[in-house]
Amino acid sequence: MDIVTPGFGLVFWMTLSFLIILFLLKKFAWSPILKSIKEREDSIEDALESAAKAKEEMRKLQDNNESLLQEARAERDQLMKEARETKDQVISEAKNKAKEEAEKILTAAREEIKNEKAKAIGELKDQVAAISFDIAHKVLQDKLSEADMQKDSIQSALKEISFN
């Protein structure tokens, strides 16, 4: 059984070498390992906090974007309303101006027609007077060719003038 049970010296030297290795590991390996684990834990914790902050900031940005979008929509609606009002006003002004121009043109045309009509009536009267004068001249010339007829015509003309 000597093979299965170790001797006291072997156990002592193994325990001593284990304790030395344990001391050396604690002195040189464990503290850097624990330090790196602690740093890793802190970095993970910082990353989680940063992620939570980023998530909160993204939510705030999303809310801000939504409010900006609402403002932009309201401003767009206001601009569209103003544009429609301006368009309606311009159309109304153009219609009124066109009506006024049409009235002016119609008034000028009526005035011109009235003037042309008066001118034509005047010319017609002049022509009728000239024709009447020519007819009267020819009739009188025929009538007054004889001396007795001249005297009778003058006397009848005098009687008509004296009654009027």
Question: What backbone torsions phi and psi does residue 5 show, to the nearest 5 degrees?
Answer: -100, 125
Token pair for residue 139?
Answer: 């009739």
Whole-prediction pTM: 0.40
- Tens of pLDDT along the chain (164 residues)? 566 777 788 889 999 999 999 888 888 888 888 888 999 999 999 999 999 999 999 999 999 999 999 999 999 999 999 999 999 999 999 999 999 999 999 999 999 999 999 999 998 888 888 887 777 777 767 666 666 666 777 777 777 776 55
Could you give the CA distance from residue 26 to residue 57 in angstroms, rounded to a whole number? Answer: 44
